[in-house]
Amino acid sequence: MSCPCPGAMAEHFSLSDCDVIGFDLDHTLCRYNVSDTFALIYDSFAQFLVEQRGYDRELMTLTPDCWDFCFKGLLLDLEDGNLLKLGEDGTVLRASHGTRLLTGEEILETYGKKRKWKHFKTINGTFARSGKYHFYDNYFDLPGALLCARVVDILDQNRTVKKYEFWKDVIASIEYNYKASAFKEDSGIYFPSVKKDPGKYLLRCSESVKDWLRKLKNAGKVLLLITSSHSDYCRLLCEHILGEDFEEIFDIIITNALKPGFFTQMPQQRPFRTLVNDEEREPLPSLEQPGWYSQGNWSHLNDLLKKITGKSDPKVVYFGDSMRSDIFPAHSYNNCETVLVLEELEVEASQQVTTDRKDSEPLEKKGKYESKRQKMWPVVSEQWGSYFVDGVTGLEGEGETQVHTWCTSNINTYSTIAIPSLQAIADAARPAEIFQHFLFWDLMRKDWTGQDCI
C-alpha cells in the first residue's frame, strides 16, 4: 500500500518499507457497535454520579436526540462549563454552555472579537492535561462530553454561583468503572455488560482483515499490540474479534500500557512486568524476548525491536484512534510513522459522495450512502458540523470564512496518513472504495491530489 502523506512527512508512505507494525486495540483493531457502546458508557458514568455522588436522577434520562451532541474533538472548559470546537489557530468555531449551543453573538461576547480560547497555547502541540479543561478525542471518552454538558445544565437550574466543581466526581466515576480489577471483580456496569453479551458491543474482524494481518506476519513484519486495556479485557476482545488463536498473530502484546505514558516515560518510571494469570509480577530490568507483557516503556521495547529485526534503527508504524494517546506521542517522542484510524473520514466522505451524486444517480444508488450514515451514527453531529472544516463569522467584521478545525491541523501535523478503518486497507483489492476515502481527504486539505492507494 502506498499513500500520499500529510504535512512535512515523506511524499509517499509504504507499509512494505516498515519493519515493525503496531496496533492499538480499542476502536482501532477492535471496532465497536458505537450506538450501544455509547449508551453503556454513559449509563456507567451517570449511575455512579446519581447513586454514589447524589446527582439529580434526571441525569439518567436520555432521548435519542441527545446523542447528536456527542462529537469527537470537543474541549470542555471546566471553568465556565462551555464545550468548544476550535479552529487550527485556537479560534472558537462553535460553542455550547452545557448542552445549549451559543449564538455567534454570545461567542463574540464570551471570547472577544478574535474568538480566541485562552488555554489554546497550553494544549496546542503538547496535549497537556489540566484541571481547567478536558479534550475529548476517542469514543470511550465521548459520552462523557454529553454527560458533563447535562451536569452543567442541571447545576445551572439549581444554583446561581457560577463555579463548577463536578470534574472530580466524573474522574471518580471513570476510576470506579475502569479500574484494573473491575473486569475480574465484575464491578461497575461496563465490564459486566460486555462480558455478558460481547456480540452486542464488539464487531468481529472480517476475514479480509485477519488475512491481511497474517500476510504481514508471513512477510516478516514484527507485529505489536499495545493497549491501555488490562490483559483480561484484552483477551476477551481479541478472542471475540480475531479468534482463540489471536496470540499467534502478534510477536509482542503489551497490555495496561497506560498511554501516552508508554511512549513518553523513562524506563525507570514504567518498567515492563510479566503476567501470571492476568496478575502483574516483578518489574523487568529490560525486555529480552517476544511475549505478552504489562505496562512498560518505548525505550526498552525499541531495544528489543532492534534485536529482533537486526537493525540499528528499525522503521516502525503505529496504528491508533487517539491523537493524544497514540498518534501524537508515537510521532513526536519516538519518530514513528503513524496511521490515524478515523471513522469520521468514512462518514463525511460518504456524505460528500451523496451530495455530489444527488442529481445524477438513481435512487437505489443514493440509498447505499444514506444507509452508511445511519450505520455510523452517532459518529457525526448535526449540531457541531464537520470534523474537518467549519465556517466562522464575525472575525473583525469579515464575512464567513471556511477554516480547518484544530483536529484537522493535528492530523496534518502528527499522522502520516489517516484511514477510516483497517477494513479500508484490507479491502485494497477494491481500489475504487479506497479512492473515495482519500479523494475526500484531498477536498478537506486542498494541498495534495487524492489518488489510488493500491
Catalytically annotated residues: 24, 26
Q: For residue 255, what is the DSSP state? A: E
What's at 40, amino acid-wise? L
For 212, 240, 282, the CA distances from 201, given in Å and listed in that order, are 23, 11, 34
Residue closest to 238 by CA, chosen among 24, 23, 22, 25: 25
Q: Cell 471513570 maps to which residue?
A: 174
Is the separation of the CB atoms in 263 and 257 below 8 Å?
no
* Whole-angstrom distance, CA of residue 70 vs CA of residue 144: 9
* Whole-angstrom distance, CA of residue 176 vs CA of residue 46: 12
Q: Is the peptide bond before 260 cis (omega within 30 degrees of 0)?
A: yes
Distance, C-alpha 18 to centroid of its chain: 23
Q: Where are the beta strands (DSSP E) in 5-81?
A: 12-14, 20-23, 31-32, 75-77
* Whole-angstrom distance, CA of residue 62 vs CA of residue 108: 31
Using the CB atoms, write b or e for 70-91: b if 16+ within 10 Å: bbbbbbbbbeebbbbbbbbebb
Q: Where are the beta strands (DSSP E) in 114-186?
A: 133-135
